A and B are shown apart, each in its own frame.
Chain A
């Protein structure tokens, strides 16, 4: 069993498991942090961004002025943003049989895997994962396509050139593998391969293994996966949460007794408690509005935003924000808000029960109804006529490099009254803000990451007790910035197996058993002998037939009648060999000695050993070793004696 690790990002994993002749890809997360190296794509022409000076190296040896621009002391690539894809050279992607998706954030690289790679397999995901994943992909494509950029910068990627660039461009890894965003056609084609599954539904893969998604409590339809054969069980834990938010709670018990547990997607903010952050979010929001400023919340169009809106629903009145407009701007805003209301069966119990009242499970429906929350596909169109300040705007993309958020940054960045509140943990907020410096607007960083923290995961592992744990190497040491926090790492016995991008791990368990079926007629022919009460055994002679990972024992076909042949002699020499009988039982010492005496062997010296006894027949100069699982007669040059002794031993054993 092998694990190929195609992504080094612990929360955007992409691993391939080879297990019992199947090749299973576990998630295909897309690392979008690479876009932070690019200039923002403004929706409305930005004089500031368009007038940025080109970067000129000090020695003047390179001419990258067109590709690289200098902004606020940093160098950015002036091109369509590109993403860092999962490793595609480690393994032939066309050999992948299935892809298991655990949540909508971990499927953004799907088109890069399934399209133009020869992939012919199936993708398994839950319905909300597919639908919301589609929304996120559509949004991404939309963000990119509506601000087309003719230029594609590639020269800076030249190794020699890159080495000369200032950081962080200089330190960017695998820049040659960075790719521009896919198009809608690829998205549709990739998603057409998705087959929907429900929680705990068992899916057979080629008869070899069974895969089954379990609720992971992180987002709508998010799942962990169990991959098991008859005798082995692998658990794949991706983004999971034990907090009571909107999704169905995490199913922990089904993870028990795994041989290997692959652990990914822990919280990226182990020291930031989501409740505390939510509180910070609300108070900073209220503080800004009261002071007459606007609040910008760069966020994904699905996920935490539902919880934020729910929290605000309760907070609006207590903070006297009843008259403040809340805007949600995204090409998929409407669908996202509506989808969240229709996936009742994937929601937590509280929300599910609301559906029977009947009431919408999320209170944002009421916010929309009362006109407190308004949503728009983009800043163009209706929004510009409805826009009222001070207000709160939720919009993407959290990287601040594309999407409507770029416009608001340009609009509000100059005033100290306004605040930008970062809630998504995926991007460093300082890097995200870099091209907008100098910035007068206040910045508040309250990342809300509801995924498991180290304390919770330690408790979980103690409960489910996997034999081995495999995890990204980042989890085996304290975070770089907090090297003293030994509580922010996994400490397990045996220690977890760490992986990094491009690792290939031999998973530490040997398959010992395989299920084999026996045909009824063959079974009928068996003659079991009871060796001890309740245990019978029989010898089987059969043909093992293996097909589609299913093994069957069939009766041995009768040999066809031997055609007359001239080589008769040879046939006579090789009669069909019957299998030797199997012996069982033990040789009782006293009785055996008595028998020996009867046969005239009297001088026997008995020596006790760790495994049994050694009988020294002194007169015959012969040794008989009686052990639990074997008997040896050491008798040189006296074949008759040996045969006699053998027969005496056999008298005490059963034959099968």
Chain B
């Protein structure tokens, strides 16, 4: 009956089949118990789907994958074979006759089913006897990319699977890499036959690769690309013996392909070569001579754009071949060398050979921009090479990038030797500017480049000042500036004039028309304030922001102005930057100034009135930073006073992130009050590995200040209740947003633990302490609590609208653990559990059974 239901309902179950497969895989049966034993109905379902002519292709595809799952176990395989469903299901001809093979969904099901099944020798024998290798090879160049990619993966799997078999069990060399997926450990009744089968399959695959690799006409380039991808995938997984065999078979074709100069094949070819290179591991240090030869050709004899790609690929691969490293570095530097006319490659005659052809390529705008961008992307890597290996000192590379940036913005004339056309191609090119600025950022961490600081500083200020710089270029300029300032511990070389220029340009950019620019500028001010201290010319240590821009007296007024910006991102950035800028003074415990009081007023205004969530979230972050940086929070009335307002407003906010941040602040408050108390655990310790998936994580770990006072827990709690902590937690608990509820629930549990686990004497005191009571209104979350608790019995209040309740009683009665369990599981958990799915299926099925059975197929269950 159940089987019948399952089958019928499957026909009307669309869209959730893959989910079901995942669930089947996830809820893997107990070891020793197969899927069929757990769900015997599957067999009937499978055979009826496969033999039915009315099945939909998506159902068949699903069934094929399911067959793979079932047949992955030997007993399941045998059971399926007995019903001869396997022959039918994995016969492409059968599906062709049904007219279904055209549907990629069936082909992908066929591949996935087979590939899941190939876990044991019987399955492999079945694969060979059914002559499935031929359709599989065909699918490798399928019109559907998904099918082709799946077929490639399966071919690799088949090769890995059968190569150890074909190479014979007695062979001493067994591929280490493929042993995990091999079945050499399994006993086979007729091993010789199986070896022959495997050898035949290996030969067939290798021959196929060799035959199809070379494109006979340009239209076959795609096919060659596919073959090369497959080859790269095999090479990266194959052990030395298979690799040798592979290279012996296809080496010649590869060489021919490398010599043919098809530029579309450069990248896949490099992938193949590098895959071969990478797989040289263990004790075998020398790469295959064929691979070395191919690599030399790729790095020497191709057209410049291909050369660049090949060089980039080699440099990225991290191989330690000195000659090729030098060659690659030279090629990557060549475009910049040509454009800037700086002699980066002095004496490198091998690379200089390409100068003329490269120059020709650079005259074409598209290829010029593309080559320079690739070159710039990898230039920082070159500077990290061993000193005896790199073509020029890192400082020269930085100089070249600066020179290129000057050309791009028209700031400096091209040198006489530079080609005018090439120069025109890069002038004003935003793309090159961005790439160069990224390269400049990355170069900041290269060795021996700090001497360039002043030059970099000067250029970046020029960029920041340039009227035509677009917002992204400006943002990247700021980032590069920060990086360089950040890595240079000694900024004494920055002249006063430069500092003045920077302040001037920041002052201007903060008033820019484009909000993106204002935002980047404000962010820059924040990040700068967040940098560690630097040493000055007189040997002292100074705050960087102070040293470069004059510190808060320059920054704060600009940021305060930005709090009124019409764009919410800018306001939010300004708030974050203010927090960064004031952090140092907070850390030192400085008494808040009049200006800070003014800022607090403005921030509270933003929290209560700003229409955009970003700004309000930032306000919460500001107070969190303040609270966690200030050494003694309670000693600052301004802070404590504002925290109360922030908590009140924050928990009433409409934005769930604001509410979560409010709870973060509440947590800090609790930590400060209770840390060190018996039974209280610090938030980060109690749930270390469970941040909820959508939560915004705090930018820095909070520093907690344990208080050393003589306060009792009760008086602390009393203080917290007055601060509004309890209402924040309770309102959060009943919030409709799960992350808010979850966080509030965790905090309440900690509160409960602290309250209940405290020493007895204080508990007694607490019971009588009126401060441990809280008031519940009859609206909103309080009303909710009243309902949960059945308030009539527990009320002791006089007002019908407001009831007072003891906090301890309250947290005890709320059944927080159960609530936490529910909240942790999330809605997905309920709806996607196999139990829930099956229940849904059954409910849908029985609903049909009760109604007209003719309408069965019409009903579609919407699976959330």
Which positions in A face B, CB cutoff 8 Å? 271-273, 275-280, 282-287, 290, 311, 315, 317-320, 446, 482, 484-487
Write out the residue numbers on chain B whose beta carbons fall within 8 Å of the beta carbon of A446.
467
In angstroms, Cα B508 to Cα A287, docked, is 6
Nearest 3 pairs of A and B residues by beta carbon: A276-B467, A286-B511, A484-B413
Name 9 interchain pairs, CB-CB below 8 A, sorted by A. Answer: A273-B468, A279-B514, A280-B467, A283-B509, A284-B508, A285-B511, A286-B511, A287-B510, A320-B561
In angstroms, Cα B513 to Cα A285, docked, is 11
> B560 to chain A: closest CB distance in Å?
11
> B538 to chain A: closest CB distance in Å?
29
B561:A315 contact, CB within 8 angstroms:
no
B513:A318 contact, CB within 8 angstroms:
yes
> A330 to chain B: closest CB distance in Å?
26
**Stretch of B189-197, B236-244, B298-306, B563-571 that contacts chain A:** B563-571
Q: In the complex, which of the residues A272, A290, A484 contacts B561, with contact meaning CB atoms closer than 8 Å?
A: A290
Write out the residue numbers on chain A whose beta carbons fall within 8 Å of the beta carbon of B467.
272-273, 276-277, 279-280, 446
With A273-B467, A318-B566, A446-B467: A279-B513 Cβ-Cβ less than 8 Å: yes
> A151 to chain B: closest CB distance in Å?
42
What is the 8 Å Cβ interface bit string for chain B, positions 564-581, against chain A (1 contact, 0 not)?
A: 111100000000000000
A283:B413 contact, CB within 8 angstroms:
no
| Residue among A315, A318, A485 having the largest count of chain B Cβ atoms under 10 Å | A318
**Residues 383-435 (chain B) with a chain A CB within 8 angstroms:** 410, 413-414, 420, 424, 427
Is there a chain A Cβ closer than 8 Å to B507's Cβ?
Answer: yes
> B217 to chain A: closest CB distance in Å?
36
Is there a chain A Cβ closer than 8 Å to B769's Cβ?
Answer: no
B420:A319 contact, CB within 8 angstroms:
no
In angstroms, Cα B468 to Cα A487, docked, is 17
> A447 to chain B: closest CB distance in Å?
11
Is there a chain A Cβ closer than 8 Å to B515's Cβ?
Answer: yes
Q: In the complex, which of the residues B427, B507, B567 contacts A318, with contact meaning CB atoms closer than 8 Å?
A: B567
> A283 to chain B: closest CB distance in Å?
4
In angstroms, Cα B513 to Cα A319, docked, is 8
> B703 to chain A: closest CB distance in Å?
36
A276:B509 contact, CB within 8 angstroms:
no
> B806 to chain A: closest CB distance in Å?
51
In angstroms, Cα B508 to Cα A286, docked, is 8
Q: Which DSSP category, helix, strand, loop or mixed, fits chain A's interface?
A: helix
With A272-B467, A276-B468, A318-B567: A287-B410 Cβ-Cβ less than 8 Å: no
In angstroms, Cα B696 to Cα A296, docked, is 47
Is there a chain A Cβ closer than 8 Å to B821's Cβ?
Answer: no
How many residues of B are in contact with the other chain, CB < 8 A? 24
In angstroms, Cα B566 to Cα A487, docked, is 40
Write out the residue numbers on chain A whose beta carbons fall within 8 Å of the beta carbon of B413.
482, 484-485
In angstroms, Cα B427 to Cα A319, docked, is 32
Write out the residue numbers on chain A whose beta carbons fall within 8 Å of the beta carbon of B513.
278-279, 282-283, 311, 315, 318
> A441 to chain B: closest CB distance in Å?
15
Is there a chain A Cβ closer than 8 Å to B37's Cβ?
Answer: no
Write out the residue numbers on chain A whose beta carbons fall within 8 Å of the beta carbon of B509.
283
Is there a chain A Cβ closer than 8 Å to B75's Cβ?
Answer: no
> B794 to chain A: closest CB distance in Å?
54
With A271-B410, A486-B420: A283-B515 Cβ-Cβ less than 8 Å: no
B427:A279 contact, CB within 8 angstroms:
no
With A290-B561, A486-B420, A487-B427: A283-B468 Cβ-Cβ less than 8 Å: no
With A276-B468, A487-B427: A318-B565 Cβ-Cβ less than 8 Å: yes
Is there a chain A Cβ closer than 8 Å to B512's Cβ?
Answer: yes
> B175 to chain A: closest CB distance in Å?
60
Write out the residue numbers on chain B whose beta carbons fall within 8 Å of the beta carbon of A319.
511
Return the chain B residue nearest A446 by Cβ: B467
Q: In the complex, which of the residues B424, B469, B565 contacts A487, with contact meaning CB atoms closer than 8 Å?
A: B424
In angstroms, Cα B515 to Cα A200, docked, is 42
> B261 to chain A: closest CB distance in Å?
33
> A445 to chain B: closest CB distance in Å?
10
In angstroms, Cα B45 to Cα A83, docked, is 99
Write out the residue numbers on chain B whose beta carbons fall within 8 Å of the beta carbon of A318.
513, 515, 565-567
Write out the residue numbers on chain B whose beta carbons fall within 8 Å of the beta carbon of A271.
410
Return the chain A residue nearest B564 by Cβ: A320
In angstroms, Cα B420 to Cα A285, docked, is 37
Write out the residue numbers on chain B whose beta carbons fall within 8 Å of the beta carbon of A317.
566
Write out the residue numbers on chain A whose beta carbons fall within 8 Å of the beta carbon of B469.
276
A287:B511 contact, CB within 8 angstroms:
yes
B468:A282 contact, CB within 8 angstroms:
no
Return the chain A residue nearest B504 by Cβ: A287
Q: In the complex, which of the residues B420, B511, B561, B564 contacts A283, with contact meaning CB atoms closer than 8 Å?
A: B511
Return the chain B residue nearest A317 by Cβ: B566
Return the chain A residue nearest B469 by Cβ: A276
Return the chain A residue nearest B427 by Cβ: A487
> B418 to chain A: closest CB distance in Å?
9
In angstroms, Cα B417 to Cα A291, docked, is 47
Write out the residue numbers on chain B whose beta carbons fall within 8 Å of the beta carbon of A272.
467
Return the chain A residue nearest B468 by Cβ: A276
A sample of 5 more A-B contacts (CB under 8 A), given A275-B468, A280-B508, is: A271-B410, A273-B468, A285-B511, A482-B413, A485-B410
In angstroms, Cα B567 to Cα A446, docked, is 26
In angstroms, Cα B412 to Cα A271, docked, is 13
> A276 to chain B: closest CB distance in Å?
3
In angstroms, Cα B424 to Cα A484, docked, is 11
A287:B561 contact, CB within 8 angstroms:
no
Write out the residue numbers on chain B whose beta carbons fall within 8 Å of the beta carbon of A275.
468
In angstroms, Cα B565 to Cα A317, docked, is 9
Return the chain B residue nearest A321 by Cβ: B511
Write out the residue numbers on chain B whose beta carbons fall within 8 Å of the beta carbon of A276.
466-469
> A459 to chain B: closest CB distance in Å?
14
In angstroms, Cα B815 to Cα A354, docked, is 64
**Residues 438-490 (chain B) with a chain A CB within 8 angstroms:** 466-469
Return the chain B residue nearest A315 by Cβ: B513
Return the chain B residue nearest A289 by Cβ: B511
B410:A283 contact, CB within 8 angstroms:
no
> A514 to chain B: closest CB distance in Å?
45
| Residue among B414, B512, B564 having the largest count of chain A Cβ atoms under 10 Å | B512
Write out the residue numbers on chain B whose beta carbons fall within 8 Å of the beta carbon of A311.
513
With A276-B468, A318-B513, A318-B515: A283-B508 Cβ-Cβ less than 8 Å: yes
In angstroms, Cα B413 to Cα A276, docked, is 21
Return the chain B residue nearest A282 by Cβ: B513
Return the chain A residue nearest B567 by Cβ: A318
A484:B414 contact, CB within 8 angstroms:
yes
Write out the residue numbers on chain B whose beta carbons fall within 8 Å of the beta carbon of A315.
513
> B505 to chain A: closest CB distance in Å?
10
Q: In the complex, which of the residues A283, A320, A487 contacts B512, with contact meaning CB atoms closer than 8 Å?
A: A283
In angstroms, Cα B427 to Cα A486, docked, is 12
**Residues 102-144 (chain B) with a chain A CB within 8 angstroms:** none
Return the chain B residue nearest A278 by Cβ: B513
In angstroms, Cα B413 to Cα A280, docked, is 23
> B462 to chain A: closest CB distance in Å?
14
> B179 to chain A: closest CB distance in Å?
63
B468:A290 contact, CB within 8 angstroms:
no
> B656 to chain A: closest CB distance in Å?
29
Write out the residue numbers on chain B whose beta carbons fall within 8 Å of the beta carbon of A285.
511
Write out the residue numbers on chain B whose beta carbons fall within 8 Å of the beta carbon of A286.
511
In angstroms, Cα B513 to Cα A273, docked, is 15
> A643 to chain B: closest CB distance in Å?
70
| Residue among A287, A311, A446 having the largest count of chain B Cβ atoms under 10 Å | A287
In angstroms, Cα B508 to Cα A285, docked, is 9
In angstroms, Cα B513 to Cα A283, docked, is 7
> B528 to chain A: closest CB distance in Å?
19
In angstroms, Cα B471 to Cα A275, docked, is 13
| Residue among A273, A277, A485 having the largest count of chain B Cβ atoms under 10 Å | A485
In angstroms, Cα B512 to Cα A485, docked, is 29
Write out the residue numbers on chain B whose beta carbons fall within 8 Å of the beta carbon of A277.
467
Write out the residue numbers on chain B whose beta carbons fall within 8 Å of the beta carbon of A282.
511-513
**Residues 602-627 (chain B) with a chain A CB within 8 angstroms:** none
Write out the residue numbers on chain A whose beta carbons fall within 8 Å of the beta carbon of B512.
279, 282-283
> B211 to chain A: closest CB distance in Å?
50
